[in-house]
Structure 1
Amino acid sequence: MPAKMESILMVIAAGEFTMGVLANTFIALVNCMDWIKSKKIASIDLILTSLAISRICLLCVILLDCFILVLCPEVYTSGKQMKIIDFFWTVNNHLSVWFATCLSICYFLKIANFFHPLFLWMKWRIDRVILWILLGCLAFSVLISLPVTENLNDDFRLCVKAKQKMNLTLRCRVSKAQYASTKVLLNLLTLLPFSVSLISFLLLILSLWRHTRQMQLHGIGYRDPSTAAHVEAMKAVISFLFLFVAYYLAFLVATSSYFMPETELAVLWGELIALIYPSSHSFILILRNNKLRQASLRVLWKLKFILKRRKF
């Protein structure tokens, strides 16, 4: 790959990383400060904080992988360092998706209007068990990352950078079946939380439709707090679904680069697209959350005031 192209891609990656870390750090700090002041934390705030921390780690791992690929490609031929990076990437990848799914479920349980006994039971229990659910997501992500990382690393990382420098054709062909099956399993596991979020979104649409019908029957206008809450929750969930599809495709490109002729370029482009998901979705969450939006406005106002004072 030309050095100029590498430099441009790395600058873009660094910019996406910086924006993502700032947004997620802001979410975590605001919720933690509010937690310290009030000595309690709402379930949605706890999920947002956990999601922000997992995304900061994910952004760091992706950027580190980009820099290693460009600046220290020889690391790809050694298994130990890359196994550690692969492990943390897989863990934080699954954590960020599962935590976002928990957020979608929490929006659904807090806002939707259903009278099914199972829904009412889940709505009543969610605040009490949310911490255990998040810890369960962490344990599940770690457990599936250990065997996946062990199977993915050995031949894949060697072929990424070194396949054009040495005769690895036979070795790569032999391991394709094993690598492909591992990759498919990994991606299918990631699709499970996506399906849950999609179901939550569809149920929110159903709840909104039933609510608007009731409003019509009673001759009440549409602009009530429940309708507004439904719409805001749906916007938050659909933004996650849309960005996750883009991230999922980028993740496929990065992991499938093993089969592509321009492996290094494919990995970099896949990781650049992958960085968009944990960065931009965090800004959307800030704009959709009243507390975070108000806090961001206060920060911007203070920065504007400081800049004006320094200017004059």
Structure 2
Amino acid sequence: MADSTEGDTDVRYLGLLVLALIALIAGLVIHSFIIGVNVTDWWKGGSVTPVDHIVTSLGISRMCAQCASTLYFFIYPIFWRNLDSLATLLIGLSCDFLCSANMWLTSLLSIVLCLKISNFHTRLFLYLRGMIAHRTVYLIGASALLSAVNSLITLLVTVTKISSGETYNKTMAYPITDCIHINYVYPVTIAVSFPLLFYCISSVLLFTSLYHHTTKMKMSSNLSISLETYYSVMKFISVTFIYNTLYFICFISCILYYYIHCVNPDRLYIVLGFLPVLHSSYLIYRTAKLRSQMSKGLQNVTDFLFQRKDTEIRENVEVVDL
């Protein structure tokens, strides 16, 4: 009976590893494409916009987060007996740091788009638009710093608990569980709530501004004005809002599941790693420069494959003629 249970566990773990590898490969391809296109464009002297800075930083953070989570997923179950609690904690905190940076950068992207596109004319709004437009790089650094501070606080809290000699109950259902991680449930939850709040405020303001603007244009007598661009931006805001909400729900669900059961929810971790891949794919689709480069790349691959196939056919025909 025990052998049957262990066999089922091995099959389940192998299936999760395959899914994690598929998500990792897809993420590396998508995120590295975004980074490569923007960096190459800057290297050639192309224009650099605040949105380009944020999207590139977002791609870097997402790629690193997926690599760290996959590494944690592979290493922790295999070598957990050789890892002390502090080393295990550091691996988990690196994943939390990168996930938090992903949330802050997504919120920063929404704020920049809100300030750039919205047609509010208040003094505070105009001041923020001018300030953020020239300080995007510093704000990206601030996002990383906030994530690092939260991880440092979490580390200090947990190390204090370890030093005090507190013990934690361990469930027998999952032998690699170490309930010491339960200490950083509260600071992580609080930390991810702030970027979500800023994101919701900026997204609602931007969507409201665009909605009122399109309504006024519809009511005007000038019917020659195209509203497709505005509808496209509103669709982008809606899709990104859905993504960010799902990401936050999945992230909090992982924390709550661990808090209640003291077990790592592997399936949720895989979903948490795959959601940014979907959003980055949508960013490529919605960004003209990235979409154009993706089309060229796919066209080159298609031409290469068909050219190779035609060459093989000709060689086979020549061999037959001989």
Q: Shift of residue 111 of structure 1?
A: 1.3
The question of 1:27 aligning with 2:34 is answered yes
- Other-structure match for 2:319: none
- Other-structure match for 1:105: 111
- Other-structure match for 2:252: 252
Change (3 A) 1:299 1:273: same
Report which stretch shifted further, 92-101 or 144-153.
144-153
Change (3 A) 1:201 1:45: same
- Other-structure match for 2:128: 122
> What amino acid does structure 2 have at the position aligned with 1:65?
Y
Write the mapping of 1:188-227 to structure 2, written as runs, cut at 5 A.
Answer: 188-221=190-223, 224=226, 227=227
| Percent identity for Structure 1 against Structure 2 | 24
Write the mapping of 1:154-303 to structure 2, written as runs, cut at 5 A.
Answer: 163-164=171-172, 179=183, 182-221=184-223, 224=226, 227-261=227-261, 263=263, 266-303=264-301
Cα-to-partner distance string for 1:118-155 (whole Å, 9 max, x where unaligned): 11222223221111111111111111111213435777
Q: How many residues align?
A: 297
Q: Shift of residue 87 of structure 1?
A: 2.7
2:101 touches 2:143 (CA, 8 Å); kept in 1? yes
Q: Shift of residue 69 of structure 1?
A: 3.6
Cα-to-partner distance string for 1:85-112 (whole Å, 9 max, x where unaligned): 1231122111111111111111111211
1:212 touches 1:222 (CA, 8 Å); kept in 2? no
Gaps of 5+ in 2: 1-7, 311-322
Largest Rg, 1 or 2: 2
2:72 touches 2:92 (CA, 8 Å); kept in 1? no
Q: TM-score, normalised by structure 1?
A: 0.85
> What amino acid does structure 2 have at the position aligned with 1:192?
F
Q: Which has the higher helix share?
A: 1
Change (3 A) 1:42 1:4: same
CA RMSD of aligned residues (A): 2.9
Change (3 A) 1:73 1:39: same
The question of 1:147 aligning with 2:153 is answered yes
Report which stretch shifted further, 33-42 or 125-134.
33-42
> What amino acid does structure 1 have at the position aligned with 2:62?
R
Report which stretch shifted further, 272-281 or 249-258.
249-258
Partners of 2:196 and 2:224 lie apart in 1 by 30
Gaps of 5+ in 1: none
